């Protein structure tokens, strides 16, 4: 069997948009992905449906996989002839142990590449409004590990060189050693009034910052219960933050959103919410199998409703392959969501939202095998959809790491599927949503939420991305 190859990829600091083009292309070609805790799990959705995921997450005093086992797995999977991606948070060469992994691969003569990533020590400060260098404030910059392999975990560093010779210092994962860091910098010549900022989950919508000085930041961190993953930034350049803070000014900054999902394609709504500063967790993640369908009698219907953009594509692909002329369809067309309506528009067809479909006339509902039954409506299943089991433990970890405060149902069809997906995870929907702001896109969606016995908070005036963002931006978290 031909030996495969390994690509050691830097996933960037958290915002999935910060991965490199080369890194993303590697993910798309992977047979196996071994990924770390700090690599955003949303990047896994770009992999092929049959890609194998192996979690290698590390927490203080609790490693899912030891480094030696990770090295063994990289070798083992490559020797099976597979393309293996090692997905590491930030840059793999900055405290990412890439040297150890590459050495193991080289020992077995396994081909490998290393794809750099954006390091959190640079990216997190920028998302907090702080460039690590500035010609008036900082001409030097250092990245420093805040824990090492010493017996007590305290870093053995050239403290005098750091204190006297470096303008800006970024300590990685050092909240537990913060008092030790501050004491040593002051003792070796750094002024006690030197600004310090802690940046927690930098570049995520859940990003939090805590500012102080070398004299008081450790006490403040304890009072605020600040924890890792955090970057500790030390230096006068922090003073620029008041003028150029940008990420925390976004309209949805602080929103940690759970978005009910009906399709398996990239969500435009999720992307726009993230563009506006929110964290977004999408659930459920689906696997779709296209079915063979007969569309010869569609001309007999007065109204046709498509439940998803995928069903539009599958329907019109079948129509073309069976030699049917689109002009034979006399029905009025409808989409269960604005995204489905846009998919019909791209076919050159006019369409309206489902809530505008009359209750009279012969009706056809087109979608996957999860279509909810409606009276006097025929159903056409274009695909079979099932929960992607690989993403269930990933979803649970994402929920644990986040502090979700907002729930969005984009369509009526998303409600039942979301509840059922949670049930398969062993999670009760009512309990999960009890203290969240639950937002429905449209009257039919709100009715479906009410019928499911879930909490209701409100809905935007229109079922569009723009209206939703305006609605969320104008509502205080936890309020109506």
Q: Which residues carry out catalysis?
A: 36, 58, 173
What is the spatial distance between Cα 246 and Cα 120, in angstroms, rounded to a whole number? 17
SS3 labels along the chain: CCCCEEEEEECECCCHHHCCHHHHHHHHCCCEEEECCCCCHHHHHHCCCCCEEEECCEECCEECCCHHHHHHHHHHHHHCCCEEEEEECECCCCCCCHHHHHHHHHHCCCCEEEECCCCHHHHHHHHCCCCCCECCCECCEEEEECCCCCCCCCCCCCHHHHHHHCCEEEEECCHHHHHHHHHHHHHCCCCCCCEEEEEECCCCCCCEEEEEECCCHHHHHHHCCCCCCEEEEECHHHHHHHHHCCHHHCCCCCCEEEEECCCCCCCHHHHHHHHCCCEEEEECCEEEEECCCCCCCHHHCCEEEECCHHHHHHHHHHHHHCCCCHHHCCCEEEECCHHHHHHHHCCCCCCEEHHHCCCCCCEEEEEECCCCCCCCEEEEEEEEEEECCCHHHHHHHHHHHCCCCEEEECCCHHHHHHHHHHHHCCCCHHHHHCCCEEEECCHHHHHHHHHCCCCCCECCCCCCHHHHHHHHHCCCCCCC
The answer to whether 350 and 334 have CB atoms below 8 angstroms apart is: no
* CA atoms 448, 449, 454, 455: torsion sign: negative
* Cβ neighbours, 10 Å, residue 421: 23
């Amino acid at each position: 069997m031909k030996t495969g190859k390994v690509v050691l990829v830097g996933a960037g600091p958290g915002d999935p948009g910060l991965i490199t083009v080369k890194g993303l292309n590697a993910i798309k070609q992977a047979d196996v992905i071994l990924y770390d805790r700090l690599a955003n799990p949303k990047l896994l959705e770009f992999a092929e449906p049959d890609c194998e995921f192996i979690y290698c997450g590390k927490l203080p005093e609790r490693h899912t996989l030891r480094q030696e086992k990770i090295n063994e797995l990289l070798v083992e999977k490559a020797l099976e002839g597979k393309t293996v991606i090692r997905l590491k948070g930030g840059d793999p060469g900055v405290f990412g142990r890439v040297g150890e992994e590459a050495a193991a691969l080289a020992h077995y003569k396994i081909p490998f590449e290393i794809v750099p990533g954006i390091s959190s020590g640079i990216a997190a400060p920028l998302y907090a409004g702080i460039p690590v260098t500035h010609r008036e404030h900082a001409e030097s910059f250092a990245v420093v590990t805040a824990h090492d392999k010493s017996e007590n975990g305290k870093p053995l560093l050239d403290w005098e060189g750091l204190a006297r010779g470096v303008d800006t210092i970024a300590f990685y994962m050092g909240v537990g050693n913060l008092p030790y860091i501050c004491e040593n910098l002051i003792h070796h010549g750094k002024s006690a009034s030197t600004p310090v900022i802690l940046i927690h989950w930098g570049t995520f919508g859940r990003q939090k910052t805590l500012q102080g000085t070398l004299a008081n930041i450790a006490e403040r961190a304890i009072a605020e219960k600040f924890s890792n993953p955090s970057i500790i930034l030390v230096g006068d350049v922090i003073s620029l933050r008041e003028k150029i803070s940008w990420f925390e000014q976004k309209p949805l900054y602080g929103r940690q959103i759970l978005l009910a999902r009906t399709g398996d394609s990239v969500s435009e709504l999720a992307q726009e919410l993230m563009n506006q500063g929110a964290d977004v967790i999408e659930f459920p993640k689906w696997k779709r199998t296209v079915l063979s369908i007969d569309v010869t009698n569609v001309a007999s219907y007065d109204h046709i409703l498509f439940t998803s953009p995928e069903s539009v594509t599958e329907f019109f692909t079948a129509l073309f392959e069976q030699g049917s002329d689109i002009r034979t369809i006399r029905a009025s067309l409808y989409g269960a969501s604005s995204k489905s309506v846009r998919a019909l528009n791209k076919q050159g067809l006019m369409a309206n939202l489902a809530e505008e479909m009359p209750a009279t006339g012969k009706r056809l509902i087109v979608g996957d095998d999860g279509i909810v039954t409606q009276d006097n409506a025929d159903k056409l299943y274009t695909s079979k959809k099932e929960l992607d089991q690989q993403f269930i433990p990933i979803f649970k970890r994402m929920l644990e790491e986040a502090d979700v405060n907002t729930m969005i149902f984009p369509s009526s069809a998303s409600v039942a599927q979301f509840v059922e997906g949670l049930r398969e995870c062993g999670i009760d929907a009512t309990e999960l949503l009890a203290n969240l702001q639950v937002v429905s896109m449209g009257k039919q969606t709100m009715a479906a939420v009410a019928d499911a016995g879930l909490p209701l908070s409100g809905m935007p005036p229109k079922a569009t991305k723009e209206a939703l963002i305006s609605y969320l931006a104008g509502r205080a978290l936890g309020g109506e």
